[in-house]
Amino acid sequence: MTSKPLLLGVRAILALAVLACLAGPWLFDANSLTVLTEFFIVVTLALMWNLLAGYADIISVGQQGFVGVGAYAFFGFTALAHLSVWAAVPLAALTTLAVAVPVMAVIFRLRTAYLAVGTWVAADVLMLIAGKLPGFGGGSGTSVPIPVIKQFGARLGDRIDVFYAMALGLALIAFVATWMLLRSRVGLGLTAMRDNEEAAGSAGVDLVRTRILCFLWTAPFLGLAGVMTALEKLRVAPSASFNITDWTIDVIFIVVIGGIGSLEGPILGAILFFVLRQQLADFGAWYLILLGLISIGVILFEPRGFWGACRRWGAPDILPVGHEAEAHVLKR
Amino acid sequence: MVETLVNLLVQGVLIGGLYALFALGLSLSLGVMRFVNIAHGDMIVLFSFVILSLTGVLGWSPFLVAIVLIPVAFGIGWLLQRYLLQRTVGKGILPILLVTFGLSIIIQNGLLEAYGPNTRKLSGGAIELAAFRVGPIDIGLYPLLVFLLAVALIAGLDAFLYRTAVGARIRAVSDDPAAADLIGLTASRIYPIAMGVVAITMLVAACCMSVWTNFDPAIGPSRLLAAFEAVVLGGLGSLWGTLIGGIIIGVAQNFGSQLDASWQILAQHLVFLVALVFRPQGLFARN
């Protein structure tokens, strides 16, 4: 047991940070809001990748596929089908889920390492198909029409606020929903799978069903993150919307370095990543080389990442996903 | 019409030889050490750039450079397995996937910093243009030789694994690491040898690729995917199956490329996914 005051202190800081984020449009300038919008998208992606890799034993190298589907679906519903943007956002999430079902049915014939490469093949297929769709600008992509953008606010400043609020809302919902999933009956099985899959299976956890649930769980969130990327870039294109570096490679580094298999890890990792990227912006490819080296070092020497190291030094379980039994100590 | 189809088929089969070369090393590391090396394609590209630099400095033919590099490649594979990958053995699939993933990103971006993003190609000399006619079909001498090299390499590896003492040791450790350890065959001594052999196949694939077609620092992943699909299509643990898988990939690509460049890759992936639905264990799976 760690000290209660420390735990309360850390949670108070966390609550203040969330409050500051909620009050963001009144506290920060447009530039910071744009960076934070990007941060919330990346946090969402990191939470989803961590749920799969850290708990369900599905290592996805194809997360960018569903991000791209979300972006393209949003473009299709607004620019081509002329629906309201507020109808298009949930429809994009549903479309991503609908695409995820057949993808899952095919690639789940592969297991472990094979499945990892299978997700990559699936994402590549989705990207190539997106480049073939009529009306979406082919291989070079196309801009989101101005009337669609204007629905989010007539002035640029208003739109920045709206996009910020949407990204924050997405990250918060993704976080709370995943936390609740991990605290549920399914989550108990997932935590058992994280710690020892064979033992979890023999203790009655339905591994296949849990994996299917997790894989489909991530799809709508990835699709919504995709909608946000389309709004942020104001265009859809196969190379940008399905970008493996931005939506998967960076995310893998974030989760591995921050701490795989915990809820705190991906968030810590995302903060570290944004700080590091700001510092190393001028070094081009070197920053990815550095991230690669750090993550290999982390896997070899501290497999639970930065958060795992913090826990060993006595950091409290800030966001407990387990259920702690009340300890009643009898005084003699 | 029939002539065109036969021509596409024959050229596709020959390209399949090149894909089989890409896939051989992956088939070995999957079949023997039971992991997917995410950096497989990037290591092949790395060898291509090493051959490029040495041909520039020495003025030799790329084939001669590759032959001289064989012991170096074995050493690189040995060191990689002994001092990096072996550390992750026995900890499940996640660490080794993520280590090779990190390696892949380091190689890609290292090559980008060292050589820039331009596409390169090596000249193999007169042999590249030599061709002969069989009936209505032109067959390039170089593609044919690469195909025969792939066949020879598979036969050689098959003999190495199933007819030599070292091969028997490798298979013993692969089948049951704990039991093999009891009779003095430790994985940390045997697997590096296997990875050295894998690296030699990467070198051969790199040499054949860099004379056949363009390459740049970013193409590693597409080579990995093609190699992976060839291995899964052929069936795990079967080197001859990998050759057939490579041929199927080559033919699918060649037919797809008649439409456009993205159909080339799309056709390859779709054939793989359809095969996965109907025959997930591959065509020639060996238990």
Phi, psi of B286 (to 5 degrees): -115, 130
Q: Do A125 and B97 touch (CB under 8 A)?
A: no
Quote the pLDDT of residue B92: 79
Burial track A150-183 (b if 16+ CB lie within 10 A, e otherwise): eebeeeeeebbbbbbbbbbebbbebbeebbebbb
Cα separation, A241 vs A249, whole angstroms? 14
Q: Do A289 and B105 touch (CB under 8 A)?
A: yes
Quote the pLDDT of residue A324: 58
Q: Is residue A65 part of a domain?
A: yes
Quote the pLDDT of residue A3: 62
Residues of A in contact with B46 (CB under 8 A): none
Q: Which H or E run includes B134?
A: strand B131-134
Quote the pLDDT of residue A131: 92
The nearest CA of chain B is from the CA of A296 a distance in Å of 5
Question: Three-state SS string across A273-329, please?
Answer: HHHHHHHCHHHCCHHHHHHHHHHHHHHHHCCCHHHHHHHHCCCCCCCCCCCCCCCCC
Handedness of CA B5, B7, B9, B11 (dihedral sign): negative
Quote the pLDDT of residue A57: 87
The nearest CA of chain B is from the CA of A115 a distance in Å of 10
Q: Do A109 and B276 touch (CB under 8 A)?
A: yes
Contacts with B, A 60-99, CB within 8 Å: 61
Residue B135's identity, in one-letter code, is G
Handedness of CA B107, B108, B110, B114 (dihedral sign): positive
Q: Do A106 and B110 touch (CB under 8 A)?
A: no
Quote the pLDDT of residue B24: 93
Quote the pLDDT of residue B133: 84
Quote the pLDDT of residue A330: 58
Residues of A in contact with B270 (CB under 8 A): 125
The nearest CA of chain B is from the CA of A293 a distance in Å of 7
Burial status of residue A195 (CB atoms within 10 A of its CB: 0-12, 13-18, 19 or more) = exposed
Would you give the DSSP letter of residue A247? I
Contacts with B, A 23-42, CB within 8 Å: none
Cβ proximity of A250 and A42 under 8 Å: yes
Q: Is residue A42 part of a domain?
A: yes
Q: What is the ipTM score, two decimals?
A: 0.91
Quote the pLDDT of residue B69: 94
The chain B residue lying nearest A286, using CA atoms, is B109
Question: Considering chain B, what percentage of its residues have pLDDT values greater than 90?
Answer: 61
The one-digit pLDDT tens for each residue of chain A (332 residues) are 456 777 788 788 888 888 888 887 888 888 889 999 999 999 999 999 999 998 888 999 999 999 999 999 999 999 999 999 999 999 999 999 999 999 999 999 888 788 999 999 999 999 999 999 988 988 889 999 999 998 998 888 889 999 999 999 999 999 999 988 888 888 888 888 888 877 888 877 888 888 899 999 999 999 999 999 999 999 999 999 999 989 999 999 999 999 998 888 999 999 999 988 888 877 778 888 999 999 999 999 988 888 888 888 877 777 776 665 555 655 55
More reliable by pLDDT, B15 or A185? B15
- Tell me the per-residue pLDDT of B23-56, one tens digit each, with 9 for 90 and over: 999 999 888 888 889 999 999 999 999 999 999 8
Residues 6+ apart with CB under 8 A from B31: B174, B236, B237, B238, B239
Q: Could you tell me where the DSSP H helices lie in A184-285?
A: 185-195, 197-202, 207-233, 238-241, 244, 250-258, 264-279
Structural domain harbouring A132 = 32-244
Residues of A in contact with B276 (CB under 8 A): 106-107, 109-110, 118
Q: Is residue A290 part of a domain?
A: no
Residues of A in contact with B228 (CB under 8 A): 114, 117, 121
Burial track B11-37 (b if 16+ CB lie within 10 A, e otherwise): bbbbbbbbbbbbbbbbbbbbbbbbbbb
Q: Is A198 within 8 Å of chain B by CB?
A: no
Residues 6+ apart with CB under 8 A from B175: none
Burial status of residue A278 (CB atoms within 10 A of its CB: 0-12, 13-18, 19 or more) = exposed
Q: Is A129 within 8 Å of chain B by CB?
A: yes
Q: Tell me which residues of chain B have a C-beta less than 8 Å from any C-beta of chain A.
A: 30, 35-36, 38, 84, 87-88, 91, 93-99, 101-103, 105-106, 109-110, 112-113, 221, 224-225, 228-229, 232, 262, 265-266, 269-270, 272-273, 276-277, 280
* DSSP-assigned letters across all residues of A26-92: HHS-HHHHHHHHHHHHHHHHHHHHHIIIIIS----S-HHHHHHHHHHHHHIIIIIT---HHHHHHHH
Q: Do A300 and B99 touch (CB under 8 A)?
A: yes
Residues of B in contact with A106 (CB under 8 A): 273, 276-277
Cα separation, A229 vs A146, whole angstroms? 16
Quote the pLDDT of residue A317: 73
Radius of gyration of chain B (CA): 19
Closest C-alpha to B25, from B192, B166, B197: B197
Structural domains in chain A (count):
1
Quote the pLDDT of residue A239: 92
CA of B39: how far to CAs of A115, A125, B104, B133, B237, in Å? 16, 21, 4, 39, 20
Which of A52, A60, A114, A132 to substitute to test the interface with B, most B CBs within 10 Å?
A114
CA of B150: how far to CAs of A200, B19, B184, B201, in Å? 44, 9, 34, 10
Q: In the CATH scheme, what is the code of domain B2-278?
A: 1.10.3470
Quote the pLDDT of residue A187: 81
Domain ranges of chain B: 2-278
Q: Do A116 and B232 touch (CB under 8 A)?
A: no
The chain B residue lying nearest A301, using CA atoms, is B87
Least confident of B30-34, B105-109, B255-259: B30-34
The chain B residue lying nearest A305, using CA atoms, is B95
pLDDT band at residue B186 under the 50/70/90 scheme: confident
The chain B residue lying nearest A303, using CA atoms, is B95
Cα separation, A247 vs B251, whole angstroms? 32
Across the range B121-149, mean pLDDT stands at 87
Residue B187's identity, in one-letter code, is A
Burial track B137-167 (b if 16+ CB lie within 10 A, e otherwise): eebbebbbbbbebbeebbeebeeebeeeeeb
Quote the pLDDT of residue A113: 82
Q: Report whether pLDDT(B270) > 90.
A: yes
Cβ proximity of A292 and B106 under 8 Å: yes
Closest C-alpha to B120, from B206, B218, B213: B213
